[in-house]
Amino acid sequence: MKIKNDFITNSSSASFILTVKSNAKNLEEFKERFELFKKHFLEELLYKKNAKHIFNFVKIEHGSDNNYNISDITAMLNDILHDTPQWITYLLLVSYTYPTLIEQFGFTPISLKIERDW
């Protein structure tokens, strides 16, 4: 019989995948625009400069056509409201309430998919 000696939890990790339609010409241009969004987010929420770790696990890939996938992870997904990365919550809320703000980064429709790693 095997006995687990390290940390045990009932929660699971999860990946958050945003699909963003953009008029960026290529992946590099999209990444540049995302850097502008990151700067805006950190300034808007008054984060200190050392808070850039918020984006440590972000990955950006070109999807299909003008769609780009931005992914982030959480180590424990117990509560979707509290465990969703704050920058994702902000981006989604702003995209619905102030779409012109998001359009300045070249982002238009945004959708979110969450994949739990059971």
Domain total of the chain: 1
Domain-embedded: residue 82? yes
Would strands 59-62 and 107-117 be described as parallel, antiparallel, or unpaired?
Answer: unpaired
* pTM given for the model: 0.81
Per-residue model confidence as pLDDT tens digits over 16-32: 999 999 999 999 999 99
Half-sphere exposure of 35 (CA within 13 A, CB side): 6
What domain range includes position 49?
Answer: 13-117
Domain-embedded: residue 7? no
Domain-embedded: residue 5? no
Question: What's 44's domain CATH number?
Answer: 3.30.70.100
Per-residue model confidence as pLDDT tens digits over 49-78: 566 678 889 999 999 889 999 999 988 888
Domain-embedded: residue 2? no
Domain-embedded: residue 4? no
